[in-house]
Structure 1
Amino acid sequence: MKNIITFVLTVLTSFVMLAEVSSSDKAVLIKLYNTTQGNNWKAKWDLNAPVNTWYGIKLDGDKVVSIDLRNNNLVGELPAEIVSLVDLQELNLHKNKLSGFIPRDLGNLKKLKVLDLSFNQIEGAIPSSISKLNNLKQVELYMNRLSGELPAQIGNLQQLEVLSLFNNEIEGQIPNSLYEIKTLKTLLLNSNMMVGKLSPKIAELTKLENLSLFENKFEGQVPFELEKLNQLKEMNISYNKFSGLTSRRLAVLDTLNMTMVNDKGVAVLLDIAMEIQRPLVSEQ
């Protein structure tokens, strides 16, 4: 009987030890709690309780692998120390009141698969180190105050499926490397300040299902190559400065039927002109 009790106690002790986070990871979580006014969170942490009982925290052994504190009234800035949680696979802080900048050394989170900082008040540029996160599948940074240009090497994210950056103040052109992300299904860059042309290389994004470039300053020819995207179900590239010809199929697919802004700042609906082989659309 004594041996059985000893065995049970040993198993329970081992379980508790496995469920408890490392001291370094715990220190980072406490820093996050303090810098984002944890006492005012909707779901608060009992800092005296085991970390595996803290709301929104998931552990694997003694390592933090997920932080999901969406819509929990976090107020303040992300601590730079969060990038030391090197086993983190998910960081979801959607719809809070976070301000400040995305940590510059974000690229330290090599195992990160989901990054969702959407619907906050974060500003500054997307750090170039994000291009080191080869396991990323989902990047949701929409509805913030982000500025600057997209990282030139964003195409290194070869497992990325969702890139959602709408409603920010992002400038510059679409990096050529982005067209190399063959896994991309959703690309939402609408309502920013982006410029330049949409490359015919867009046809290389063969898994793309949703494309939105609405309300930017893109110009030039709408690439006919968009027709090659057989998986494309939703598209809105209107309210840009695209001109020239486009096919009827693309005009119908576009949510606003290719309504562009001309040189005078007036919204114009592109006319449909007929060609021998297929109908085309041209700007008046």
Structure 2
Amino acid sequence: MKKLSTAFLTILFSISMLANVSEIEKDALVKLFESTNGKQWNVKWDLSTSVATWYGVKVEDDKVVSVHLQNNNLVGEIPAEIVNLKNLRELDLHKNQISGIIPTNIGYLRELKVLNLSFNRLSGVIPASVCEMTNLKNLELYMNSLSGELPMQIGALKHLETLSLFNNEIEGRIPNSLYEITTIKILLLNSNKLVGELSKDVKKLTSLENLSLFDNKMNGAVPMELERLNSLKEMNISYNKFNGFVSRDLAILDTLNMTMLNDEGLAVLLDVKADRNTAIASED
């Protein structure tokens, strides 16, 4: 009788564990598993066990709050059902072989603070709905094949600290709204197809520590307002078509000392103005 009671309690405990996470959240995870060839993952999920035991999945108060499956041999596409993980705060699928597009309704993940889909094979545009994830702090989509322009309303991400989009095929101009993200510390847009000028509004990015626009097609004068960014420690804006002159301070700060491409495609150095603190004289 005692053995029967123990077995019964074990069954009840197992059922309760399986019931912790809602069916809609569990189904979303199962869909991710199936659409990225889960049977071939480096570390697989046993779908017969509790969601809380699945590798890379964190559950709090019966809700899935993070999914970390970086470098786990995910091959396939991100399912649209991923947005049913309404309580998700972190989604990290870095360094896999995920192809296809970023789901257009990814913005439904309103609680998300970290979205890392870098080092995959994603294509298509960055969905405009990304701008609806207003809690986002880290957005890392680098080393993919993303194209199109940056979403115009990206400035709605008022808490963003890292925007890393390098090594894609993003084109067009930097949206004016991006200069309103005063929390941003790391802005890496290098090795894309960006055009146009770097706005003087860059001075608003007062928290900026690392700026990389290297290897784009941007032009116009280098704004001296960059010198007002007292937190800026690293910068590389070379291999664009910026022209005119720069201050000695900015030339020293740039990794390649302001090496640009002229109209003939030849590498040239921008003229360095001898006076220091040139930006101080460029008041509004």
* Residue 270 of structure 1: aligned partner: 270
Contact 1:19–1:61 at 8 Å: present in 2 too? no
In structure 2, the CA distance between the partners of 1:276 and 1:203, relative to structure 1 (3 Å rule), is closer
Helix, strand or coil: the match of 2:192? coil
* Residue 172 of structure 2: aligned partner: 172
> How many residues are matched?
272
In structure 2, the CA distance between the partners of 1:227 and 1:40, relative to structure 1 (3 Å rule), is same
Deviation of 1:275 (Å): 4.8
Matched, 1:89 2:84: no
In structure 2, the CA distance between the partners of 1:22 and 1:238, relative to structure 1 (3 Å rule), is same
Deviation of 1:84 (Å): 1.3
Helix, strand or coil: the match of 1:49? coil
* Residue 42 of structure 2: aligned partner: 42
**Identity value in percent:** 63
Helix, strand or coil: the match of 2:242? strand
Deviation of 1:120 (Å): 0.1
**1:38 corresponds to which letter in structure 2?**
G
User: What does 1:243-262 correspond to in 2, within 5 Å?
Assistant: 243-262=243-262
* Residue 137 of structure 1: aligned partner: 137
* Residue 153 of structure 1: aligned partner: 153
In structure 2, the CA distance between the partners of 1:184 and 1:19, relative to structure 1 (3 Å rule), is farther
Gap runs ≥5 in structure 2: 280-284
Q: In the TM superposition, what whole-angstrom CA distance separates every residue of 1:4-47 from its partner, at most 9, and x where no partner exists?
A: x9xxx7xx959955982111111111111011000100000011
Provide the aligned C-alpha RMSD in A.
Answer: 2.2
Normalised by the length of structure 2, the TM-score is: 0.91
Contact 2:41–2:74 at 8 Å: present in 1 too? yes
* Residue 116 of structure 1: aligned partner: 116
* Residue 195 of structure 2: aligned partner: 195
In structure 2, the CA distance between the partners of 1:182 and 1:14, relative to structure 1 (3 Å rule), is farther
Q: Distance in 1 between matches of 2:165 and 2:40?
A: 28
Q: Distance in 2 between matches of 1:275 and 1:26?
A: 63
Q: Distance in 2 between matches of 1:183 and 1:16?
A: 43
User: What does 1:175-186 correspond to in 2, within 5 Å?
Assistant: 175-186=175-186
Gap runs ≥5 in structure 1: 280-284
Q: Distance in 2 between matches of 1:232 and 1:14?
A: 53
* Residue 56 of structure 2: aligned partner: 56
User: What does 1:71-82 correspond to in 2, within 5 Å?
Assistant: 71-82=71-82
Q: Distance in 2 between matches of 1:231 and 1:122?
A: 33
Q: Distance in 2 between matches of 1:247 and 1:277?
A: 7
Helix, strand or coil: the match of 1:246? strand
In structure 2, the CA distance between the partners of 1:276 and 1:69, relative to structure 1 (3 Å rule), is closer
User: What does 1:210-249 correspond to in 2, within 5 Å?
Assistant: 210-249=210-249
Q: In the TM superposition, what whole-angstrom CA distance separates every residue of 1:63-91 from its partner, at most 9, and x where no partner exists?
A: 11101000000000000110111111100
Contact 2:126–2:151 at 8 Å: present in 1 too? yes
